[in-house]
Structure 1
Amino acid sequence: MRFRTVIGSILASTTAAAVGLVATTAPAAARDSVTLIQGVTGVVDTVAAGGRVFISANDRIVVADSSGTFTGSITGLANPTGLAVTPDGNRVYAALSGSNEIAEINAATLAVVRRISLADYPSPANLSLDGDQLWVGYGIKNDFVGGVLGLDLSVPSPTPVQVATRMYGAPLVAGAGTTVFTAEAGITPASPRVYDVSTVPATLRGVIDGADNDLFSLRDLTITPDGTRAISAFATAGFDVWDTTTLTKVRSYGSRADAPGSAGAIALSPDGAHVATALYGSGYGPYAEVYDAATGSKTLQSQMTYKGDLVSGSLSVLGNDLYALLSDWPYNRYYLWRVEGALLPTSTLSLSATTTATALDPLTMTGQLAVPDGSAPGAQPIEITRTLPDGTTATLPGVTTAADGTFVVTDNPPVSGSVRYTAVWDGSPAFRWSQTTTTVNVAQHPTSLVVTGPTTANTAKPLRLTGQMSTAGNVPTPASGKIVVYRVYTNKNGSVGADLPLVPMAADGSFTITDTPPVGGQYTYHVRFDGDATYAYAYTSRDVTVRGAGS
């Protein structure tokens, strides 16, 4: 949630946990996702309400539904940056830094219904909405002409009311109740200021010393709906909660020592019960974390497979989902990241093999779905995906859990090697989806060779040996393959070895070796199948005594 506040009346806590699980015939489309935002060359912010997500991007605002599917855009905007939205999702406000305006947008029609000029306040960039009060951070980087102003949206032509001045660039701002919390990004250390806006002009309550509190590299901030607590996201300090009256640190969400990356964005759920955070990952993609606002306990940690870097401050909450922006800047690609069901209690899945694994033979795996309240999940659909060593994937026939959440998966892995099985449950209104992966080391299927034929032969006369490949169990032989034959003969002149032409194998595993012994002696035909990804190596030999000259 970039430089704004989730505001409005505090919503009553949902009772989703009491809803229970609802069995379905097939898994629904859920799970975390990342979607390419087509046609943009930069992204800044997101807001979400009323079942939609709004994204500010260079010259437009892109609109997506709650599934992350893009449904439209608002064009003709001069560099929209910070966004704010009413709790019902009916109105969206955009800071237009390119035209020094605030645009008010009808979210249903995507039409701009009002433009508020800020001609005397350059480059408005960051917004925070509290009822009819819009707080705006404005300014040009390096010029120290930035500040914070307030707009009363209930009147047709709002007059800017100055709150803070002489700030570096456009400060981040969060306002609620009688409090405005603001700090400067791009300057280190950054020392947040707290203003009492119940008076005009606003009264500075005080400044939180950035050096004393290690407040370097400001990424985001927000404020509780009553304005009594503000939360800052600094790369060096993490996610800190400040009492806006005493200006003291109340707590931190997460441990800097255990954090998977540096703080990047923060958002509150509309009811104030959850604190959602996003972090820059340590080389493997960004993370999202959710905390219980009251206890500080972590309820979720989810990593996005690398698609780019987190865009600072771009985190929003919609229903039980989180949305943020990713920037794959080397390729100028930008993505919307959705964390499905992030605010729900998390279910767990287990899956493990219970038999040894051999290619083409039945493999049995058992698993269990468990939900955090300990109740029986009932019959729930589980999707199983198999990934072969070469990366080929296939979805196996679905399975359904027993009442206690247990399930059994059977498969005949087609090849040997490390075969990965992934089980996914798509969640319910009460519990977040879950998945688990187990890797099974699959052995090649055993094979054997038998070669029959005469034990004696004559020089320069055709010799014919017949062979058969067999496989263990009720398993077909390879549909195609070659038999390698190496011939060695020994006589009074010594031993000589030679490769014979490869021998094709028929569909039933039979083959024929033909040879014309060149001289007399004791012959050994070494016969082998070199195996493949499915079938194991096999070897046999056949001795033949050849009569004739040179014996």
Structure 2
Amino acid sequence: MNTAHRSRRLAATLLTAVLAGTGLTVAAAPAAHAATEAVAKLPISSYSAMAVDSVNERVYVADSNLSYYTNKGQVAVYDFRGVRLTTIITTEHVSGIALSADGGTLYTGERQYIRRYDTTTYQLVGSTVAYLDTCGRSLAFAGGALYHTTPYANSNSSASCAEAQTNLDSVDAANVLSRTGWNDYGKLQLEAGAGDRLVMGQPANAQAANPFLAVFDASGDTLVRTAGRRFADADGKGALSLRDMAVSPDGKKVAVADASAGTRLLNSDDLSDAATGYQPLPSGASASAVAFSGDGKYVARGASATGATPDLLLQPADPDDATAPLEFAFEGSLDGDWVAPRGLEWSADGSRLFAVTTNTAGNQYWLHIIQPPAVQYDTRFTGGLTHSPGQAVAGEPVSVRGKLEYDGPAPAEPLKVAATRTDAEGTHELGTVTVRSDGTFTVLDEPGLVGDATYTVSFLGDLTHRPATDVTHTVSVGKAPTSIALTAPEEASISAGGVEITGTFTAQGKALPERAVLKVERKDWLGSGVLSSVTVGADGTFTINDVPRTRWNTTYTVSWPGDDLHEASTAAATVYVRR
């Protein structure tokens, strides 16, 4: 096999080349195909699960930390570039994790609870008491409910947990816990799929001579098993060494990473072997993980292998497609040694593959973010960015506009760009916006601070488009204007009760934290003086009543000093005073 070593960026070419010192081998592929990669060293010493939020472009990696029952857990949060954004510390060891269908909630399976975290703030928003788990849960969101396993053993040792009695439980949309009644021995694994499918698999263990796979319909109030299969060799011994499962996007196939048999491809309706299966893994490689791309075009097959033997294959999901896979061999301290069990997930659009690798000791982990092999075209931002209105003010909308050009055919789905705003309080993510058919896009924002606000727009690429160089634009944000309008009589009489002036105070931008207090000054031929201040009403109006001290012209000046976000304002009215 022709191979080529690589650094952080992979580019398989027709000819092989060696770039020393990186420890990763990549098989040669046509020049029109390429893969790019970023690698992050994970801050964990054990691994339990990974979840990918394609809505917010986040990757969650959980540290099982099961060595002692009082251990806290952690979930490391990364963006699609491999930058760690935060770490969620859980009160108990965390095992399985899962995302709600809309990506708004992260569920964590802990020792005694199912916790819910907001994926925007990463804050805990709710907990559901669960049955006690001593070995680690598997979680999957299917049919509008969260399903989770509850293994229980007197000891959390590997041997005891491998043979633990495990129940399948659920938490419904109202966060009510229930026990489904399905149970068996061993650390049962869950995987959700299209059409409200839930797949449950049983790793081989001493209590299960014939380990099983089962497919459930999760669309109703109770789980209905639609397919089941037990695996045994001719001697009746377990013939399924389960490491991972994946359901194809159309729900028709189930791929199984079987350490004893490679990557099995099954029909989901009855779990029979597919007419055509995947080619065997390279000699010496043992299957550890499997995942379909969200668009159904590719399958990633992870393995544990040593030396230059590939640990990861990216290939067409259709087993009848004979296109040679792109192969990766992890063999060094910069990459890990092989793909961890359950260590593969894709973004929903298939533009990113996320792989967790581990070393041979199983106490260090790496997150690889890989763009799959595809014909890729260049992209670029043209013309820079502009904004409106010309003078931006704190607390009012600002539109930042630009244009993304791309080579090659029009994308099947509109491209999206991501934007951030950096100001005196740091960098704020503004989410993604859709690129119009003519390449233009508009980022809407409401800056909250006075001063410079720098907008950065990024395009991370997709299956057929390479990332574009980021474009930035700095906007000077000013204070929001305020105004005071007065209505005063032309003449007033001291004997008839004095002067009454009404007015309106208006402040644009961000709402004031408290009602404005206005300063009132009076000036006549005897001199100037400050009257009692007036507080503006909730509707912005106010009234000033005064008994002048002398005749002739009297001028009333009303002012507000402004604050950190609003300009000062003033207004005056002159009244001719009679006796």
Give the TM-score taking structure 2 as reference length: 0.50
- SS state of the match for residue 41, structure 1? coil
Looking at structure 2, the residues matched to 109 and 76 of structure 1 have their Cα atoms a distance apart, in angstroms, of 15
Q: Which amino acid aligns with 1:325?
A: V
Residues 429-468 of structure 1: pairs in structure 2 closer than 5 A: 429=462, 431=464
In the alignment, what sits opposite 1:302? 327
Please name the residue that 2:36 is paired with: 31
Match of 1:84 in 2: 98
1:328 corresponds to which residue? Answer: 359
Q: 1:193: Cα distance to partner?
A: 2.4
Rounded Cα–Cα distance in structure 2 between residues aligned with 1:54 and 1:35: 13
Equivalent in the alignment of 2:167: 147
Q: 1:296 to 1:48 in 2, by over 3 A?
A: farther
User: Compared with structure 1, are the counterparts of its residues 139 and 32 closer, same or farther at alpha carbon in structure 2 (3 Å cutoff)?
Assistant: same
- Of the three residues 76, 94, 101, the one matched with 2:108 is 94
CA distance in 2, matches of 1:253, 1:267: 15
Deviation at 1:249, TM superposition (A): 1.4
Paired residues in the alignment total 325
Equivalent residues of 2:262, 2:281 under 8 A apart: no
2:317 is matched with which residue: 283, 293, 296?
293
Q: Which residue of 2 aligns with 1:314?
A: 343
Matched with 1:255 is 279
Quote the residue 1:244 is aligned against.
Answer: 268
Q: How does 1:497-508 map to 2 (within 5 A)?
A: none
Residue 60 of structure 2 corresponds to 54
- Rg: which structure is higher? 1
Deviations 1:300-348 (A, max 9, x none): 4231442233210111112512112122254833211222x1153479x
**CA separation in 2, counterparts of 1:133 and 1:324?**
27
User: Counterparts of 2:37 and 2:222 in 1: how far apart (Å)?
Assistant: 46
Report the Cα distance in structure 1 between the residues aligned to 2:60 and 2:147, rounded to whole angstroms.
Answer: 19
Correspondence 1:133 to 2:145: yes
Determine helix, strand or coil for the equivalent of 1:248. Answer: coil
Whether 1:229 and 2:245 are equivalent positions in the alignment is no
Corresponding residue of 2:431? none
Deviation at residue 280 of structure 1 after TM alignment: 1.7
Output one character per residue of 1:138-185: Cα deviation in whole Å (capped at 9) or x when no partner: 213245420322322x21x32324152133234344455354321112
| C-alpha separation in 2, matches of 1:78 and 1:331 | 21
Counterpart AA for 2:122: L
State how 1:258-297 maps to structure 2 within 5 Å: 258=282, 261-284=285-308, 287-294=311-318, 296-297=320-321
Q: How far, CA to CA, are the matches of 1:222 and 1:30 in structure 2? A: 22
Q: Is the 8 A contact 1:240 1:252 kept in 2?
A: no
**How far, CA to CA, are the matches of 1:247 and 1:224 in structure 2?**
13
Residues 179 and 212 (structure 1), Cα distance of their counterparts in 2 relative to 1, 3 Å cut: farther
Deviations 1:326-373 (A, max 9, x none): 22254833211222x1153479xxxxxxxxxxxxxxxxxxxxxxx999
2:211 is the counterpart of 1:180: no
Structure 1 pair 430/242, CA: closer, same or farther in 2 (3 Å)?
Answer: closer
Offset, 1:133: 2.0
> Unpaired runs of 5+ in structure 1?
1-28, 348-370, 374-426, 434-551
Structure-1 separation of matches of 2:138 and 2:352: 23
- 1:115 correspondence with 2:127: yes
Amino acid aligned to 2:128: I
Q: Deviation of residue 281 (structure 1)? A: 2.7
Q: Deviations over 1:192-216 (max 9, x none)?
A: 1233445665344453131159843
* Residues in 2 aligned to 1:197 and 1:321: alpha-carbon distance in whole angstroms: 28
Mark the CA change 1:33 to 1:147 in structure 2 (over 3 Å): closer, same or farther. Answer: same
Q: Which runs of 5+ in 2 are unaligned?
A: 1-33, 66-72, 153-160, 378-406, 410-459, 467-579
Match of 1:125, SS?
coil
Residue number in structure 2 paired with 1:159: 177
Distance of 1:271 and 1:77 partners within structure 2: 37
How far apart, in 2, do the equivalents of 1:336 and 1:144 lie? 30
Partner of 2:372: 342
Of the structure 1 ranges 207-216 and 180-189, higher mean CA displacement relative to structure 2 is found in 207-216
Alignment of 1:168-207 (within 5 A): 168-174=186-192, 176-187=194-205, 190-197=211-218, 201-207=222-228
Cα deviation per residue 1:426-482 (whole Å; 9 max; x = unaligned)?
A: x9755488xxxxxxxxxxxxxxxxxxxxxxxxxxxxxxxxxxxxxxxxxxxxxxxxx
Distance 1:344 1:89, change over 3 A: farther
Q: CA deviation at 1:101?
A: 1.8
- Greater shift in the superposed pair: 161-170 or 284-293: 284-293
Q: For residue 296 of structure 2, what is the amino acid of its counterpart?
A: G
Q: Letter of the 1:45 partner, please give it.
A: A
Structure 2 CA distance for aligned equivalents of residues 343 and 263 of structure 1: 21
> In 2, Cα distance between the equivalents of 1:264 and 1:209?
20
Deviation at 1:53, TM superposition (A): 0.9
Q: Secondary structure at the match of 2:76?
A: strand
**Residue of structure 1 equivalent to 2:553:** none
Amino acid at match of 1:256: P
Say which SS state the counterpart of residue 314 (structure 1) adopts: strand
Q: Deviations over 1:483-525 (max 9, x none)?
A: xxxxxxxxxxxxxxxxxxxxxxxxxxxxxxxxxxxxxxxxxxx
The aligned residue for residue 543 of structure 1 is none
By how many angstroms is 1:128 displaced? 1.5
Distance (Å, rounded) in 2 between the aligned partners of 1:244 and 1:169: 22
RMSD value, Cα: 3.6
| Structure 1 pair 304–337 and aligned structure 2 pair: CA distance change class (3 A) | farther
Following the alignment from structure 2 to structure 1, what is the Cα–Cα distance between the partners of residues 259 and 313?
A: 15
Q: SS of the residue aligned with 2:372?
A: coil
The CA deviation at 1:125 is 1.2
Q: Could you give the per-residue CA deviations for residues 256-312 of structure 1, whole angstroms, max 9, x where no partner exists? A: 164672211112222333322222234337532233334553564231442233210
Return the structure number with greater relative CO, CA threshold 8 A, min gap 6: 1
